[in-house]
Amino acid sequence: MANLNAPSVPFVNEPFTNFADPHHAQAMRQSLALVAAQLGREYDLIVGGQRIRTVDKIISINPARPSEVVGVHQKAGADHAQQVMDAALTAYESWSRTTVGERAALLFRAAGIIRKRKHEFSSWLVYEVGKNWADADADTAETIDFLEFYGREALRLDQATTPIQLPGERNLLRYIPLGVGAVIPPWNFPFAIMAGMTAAAIVTGNTVILKPSSDSPTIAAHYLAVLEEAGLPPGVVNFCPGSGATFGNAIVEHPRTRFIAFTGSKAVGLDIHERAAHTQPGQIWIKRTILEMGGKDSILVCADADLDAAADGIVASAFGFSGQKCSACSRAILEASVYDVMVEKIRQRVARLTVGNPVENHNLGPVVNKAAMDSIFNYIEQGKYEGRLIVGGNAVSTPEGGFFLQPTVFADIAPDAVLSQEEIFGPVLALIRVDTFEQGLAVANNTEYGLTGAIYSASREHLDHASQEFHVGNLYLNRKCTGAMVGAHPFGGFNMSGTDSKAGGPDYLLLFTQAKSIAERLS
């Protein structure tokens, strides 16, 4: 067991499940069957502990079988904004005064509940967003990690002291909550990122209006049920699926909203930032935005690298969860002397990947919806003009009509091409030839993003130079550029990748607090 529900136990990352073990595989199949029997249920809005139904609905579907409904959800509108804000403000009065120990204990209890039903939550991820077993298991494990880590971090932060104690004074430093915040998570890590942002907000004493993605509200509903089982008071987290253009904007713009934690696209993140910056009548604070946005991530392979390890890392980073990660390797930058060899190694590995229903645990499942599939196809057509198609490039037809695409690789892509610059968010990899390490590093830095990156090299000089000059928030040396681990790899990017929030790191909870210095003169 990774972490016992006691702060005295040091944090250890939740272990991943080995599904090659028949016992674990059978347990996962049983959980998939259990969840399949619950598909199509209707879920309420939860506002101040009250269950609310609306005329308009959000229908969450299985992207592997679009005719299959995963969950039916109520659709919060702009007319619900004041009601949910009032509920969150009411809850804040007591929750903000609850001890840090009690708030942390709630997170530890929630982690324990999820750990006992791990495969069940992973199964919801398989059905709702199309993750294969390993990707779903990693998402669930990261959820547990966030709860355990942020609980411990809150207890640590509660013990903060001033660097200096002045003679004749008692000097205190307290990190107090901000107020009511909006949490707007993405669909691609609909458990871990959603749960992590929510947990960070509430363990520091804030209350939350949670607006999950319309593509993945069901897993969020089950998370809220876990929090309630763990003892969450009404109104501390309010579950409100809804349109970003109506309910989401109304909450972002509300004068009593204190902060917005968002993970998603650059376009939406910048829009939230702009709306939050506009001061509303009656607003007495500057709203804080905690933004995790896009990426256009590169793996640079030097001539002296272990080429098989590099090819493995590129393919895993590019095509895990069908490339639907902000951290995914979208560009492999290859030194000319090993370019042709690397192209062939990558082609061979990609050709072995299987595509199909994630219930059957293929390497790649579907992309999340038809709009995503159409957008990715447009990039594939663009790639045919910009480079040489090595493998893939087509849809994969299934009897259920899911949104399946072949993993696709284009070679000979120019550093300034569309495929080199725009975030695709799908199973498409661009291969770029460079003459030298220095040129490769310049190409790696030539986008507006700065989230993740990796370099494969046997040269200590190259690795050290990249550590200084490869301008990303998360840099990996001789390993893949996906799979950040809570505690070990605080996650967040530079430039248009966001505010470098460093989720899963020692600074993250500070974003949800404000520091209060108290000085008392002693007699």
* Run means of pLDDT, 10 residues per run, the chain, 523 residues: 58 98 98 98 98 98 98 98 98 98 98 98 98 98 98 97 96 98 98 98 98 98 98 98 96 98 97 98 97 98 98 98 98 98 98 98 98 97 98 94 98 98 98 98 98 98 98 98 98 97 97 98 93
The SS3 assignment for 352 reads coil
Distance CA 180, CA 92 (A): 7
How many other β-carbons are positioned within 10 Å of the β-carbon of residue 392? 23
Q: Provide the β-strand partners of residue 263.
A: 292
Contact call for residues 204 and 290 (beta carbons, < 8 A): no
**CA proximity to 513, closest of 213, 232, 156, 91:** 156
Q: Which two tokens stand for residue 91?
A: 């809850």
- The DSSP 8-state label assigned to residue 40 in this structure reads T
Distance CA 384, CA 372 (A): 19
Tokens 């370099």 belong to which residue?
455
- Residues with Cβ within 8 Å of 109's Cβ and at least 6 positions away in sequence, in order, are 5, 230, 231
- Residues with Cβ within 8 Å of 21's Cβ and at least 6 positions away in sequence, in order, are none
| The pLDDT of residue 2 | 43
One DSSP character per residue, 85-104 reads HHHHHHHHHHHTTS-HHHHH
The SS3 assignment for 193 reads helix
Distance CA 33, CA 25 (A): 13
Contact call for residues 498 and 476 (beta carbons, < 8 A): no
Question: 23-293+501-519: which CATH topology?
Answer: Aldehyde Dehydrogenase; Chain A, domain 1 (3.40.605)
What is the greatest pairwise CA distance in the chain? 81
Instruction: Give the H or E element holding residue 20.
Output: none
Could you give the C-alpha distances from 197 to 93, 146, 178, 311, in angstroms and in order? 21, 9, 14, 33
**Could you state, in order of their start, the residue ranges of all structural domains in the chain?**
23-293+501-519, 297-485
Q: Provide the β-strand partners of residue 299.
A: 332, 454
Contact call for residues 328 and 493 (beta carbons, < 8 A): no
Tokens 């998402």 belong to which residue?
139
| The pLDDT of residue 6 | 54
Question: 297-485: which CATH topology?
Answer: Aldehyde Dehydrogenase; Chain A, domain 2 (3.40.309)
Tokens 């569309």 belong to which residue?
418
Rg value, the chain, Cα: 23
Contact call for residues 308 and 339 (beta carbons, < 8 A): no
| The pLDDT of residue 9 | 83
Distance CA 288, CA 58 (A): 29
Contact call for residues 406 and 373 (beta carbons, < 8 A): no
| The pLDDT of residue 47 | 98
Which ranges of 63-169 does DSSP label H, i.e. alpha helix? 81-95, 100-116, 118-129, 133-157
Q: Which two tokens stand for residue 470?
A: 């490869």
Catalytic residues: 292, 326
